[in-house]
Amino acid sequence: MPFDPVTRPLTPHEARVLATLMEKARTVPDSYPMSLNGLVTGCNQKTSRDPVMNLSDAEAQEALDSLKLLTLAFESSGNRTTRWEHNFQRGVGVPEQSAVLLGLLMLRGPQTAGELRINAERWYRFADISSVEAFLDELQERSAEKGGPLVAQLPRAPGAREQRWAHLMCGPVDTTASAPAPGSSAGGGNASAALQARVEMLESQVAALQATVQRLCAELGV
């Protein structure tokens, strides 16, 4: 039976841990599968996260144990340090493109189709906004037999040109919640988008270096 967020919605911690595994698998494959330490660092990033969290090792481990029971994550063997991988596409029953959109929504909060296309660049390159919208529509119209809808379109905010989308992996969303002011999002300006991309790249490089150091220490028995 595919994952059903109505019967068993994810907690915010579970969603953050799962989405971080999905992100790092695509953006820093050299440090994937992930150790608990690297995963906690990724979950608690100050950029590209909405909301910003401060998960402890124990909270992240608890989320991983729950995700394992849901067959959405599993442990990797063959290394002294326990490492973790996601099983999102198979566990939820969605294609790559849909998984990318859900992962981004779980990490960054509600976004427009245009913002999702920009933010997905390092995960998957959508041809155009229409292709993003097509996969969002498919996720919204998902049948009950497949587990029901996984996204919802939010009402248009005052002064906004586009409607935002939100994931339903943690259950129903509050469609009356106020939206950010137009222009304050990731698509608000080329300069801010470029700076954010630069920060993300640097964070990914640091995460990869940390993973390399941890691997070398484990091999040397330090």
Write the pLDDT tens digit of every residue in 133-187.
999 999 999 998 888 999 999 998 888 889 999 999 999 987 665 555 444 444 4
Is the C-alpha dihedral spanning 186, 166, 174, 18 positive or negative?
negative
What is the rounded average pLDDT of the residues 102-126?
A: 96
Nearest CA to 36 out of 86, 81, 67, 71 is that of 81
pTM of the model: 0.80
Quote the CA–CA distance of 89 and 98 in Å, as a whole number.
9
